[in-house]
Amino acid sequence: MNRKELQFILQEGEGYKIEFKEKVAGLDKEMCAFANASGGYIYLGISDDGKIKGINLTNKLKSQIVDIAANCDPAIHVILKEFENILIIEVREAVMNAVIHRDYFQKGANVMVEIFADRVEIASPGGLPKGLNPKEFGTRSVLRNPGLANLFQRIHYIEKMGTGIPRIRKIPSRAGLPPASYKWDDFVTATFPLEEVKTSVKTTQETTQEKILALLKSKPEITRAENARRIGLSADGVKYHLDALRKAGRIRHVGPTKKGRWEIIGTENESWI
């Protein structure tokens, strides 16, 4: 993407495959909406009226977004791209791939999306199409349903035909995961690992909450906005972690909402704050 392309998108505004969001709040609903349709792009750091507000592009933010996508039902695979101070979230494509290439003559079988603790599996009925050597899988394109594939390409549901498998294999690596793997018998099954993403995000959340606790300890009257500025999160992100700490029984707020103070619970000396 370049500046000219971005200006064109801003002028066109939101549409069937374009969504602007200023903050992370409510991102899961937008992802699910795109995943249940034909995919699309979410521009994070742009307000609804098309004004660039920008967003702090950190690894924490990216991990949070990957975790949101992984926890959708079914899990959604996203591609994250940066342009200046905007994060572009691309929602696509493995389920679409399974729908386009399945064997529709195999009655009683359906495309299946199965979610496990450590992986997501997407299975397409029919195995490999005739004429495709298993050693050439992902490097050569043999269309089982050429009419359907051509239609989906012409209405921009898919890009250049024959590029889907290599692109899908690369998606997990961008989230720090092992590549997607494939197996085939009567079905072609794509497996996307999840475990490392969840571990990484859990560690990030714990580290963030420890930072918040340290700030509450040193400055009990600290506001959510100041907390967000010092940690590098949005105010909504700080609220999420404060609510989590409060539900876990680690902190409580005493006094008026705007002029009260925070107390840490379960320490030898609660009066530090």
Q: What are 204-236's pLDDT values in tens digits? A: 555 788 888 888 888 888 888 888 888 777 777
- Maximum Cα–Cα distance for the chain, whole Å? 74
% of the chain residues with pLDDT over 70: 76
Which residue segments constitute the domains of the chain, with CATH numbers given? 3-91 (3.30.950.30), 94-193 (3.30.565.60), 197-272 (1.10.10.10)
- Who contacts 14 (Cβ-Cβ below 8 Å, separation ≥6)? 20, 48
Mean pLDDT of 84-101: 75
Q: 137: which DSSP letter?
A: B
Mean pLDDT of the chain: 77
What does the pLDDT read at residue 52?
92
Q: What's the pLDDT band for 135 if we cut at 50, 70, 90?
A: confident
Q: How far is CA 162 from CA 50, 111, 137, 166, in A?
A: 34, 20, 10, 9
Instruction: List, for residues 139-179, the tens digit of each pLDDT value.
Output: 666 777 778 777 777 766 665 555 667 767 666 666 566 77
Instruction: List, for residues 39-71, the tens digit of each pLDDT value.
Output: 788 999 999 888 999 999 888 888 888 888 877
Q: What's the pLDDT band for 195 if we cut at 50, 70, 90?
A: low
Q: Are 89 and 78 in contact (CB under 8 A)?
A: yes
- Give the 3-state secondary structure of residue 235: helix
Structure tokens at 153: 């390409």
Structure tokens at 33: 């909406």
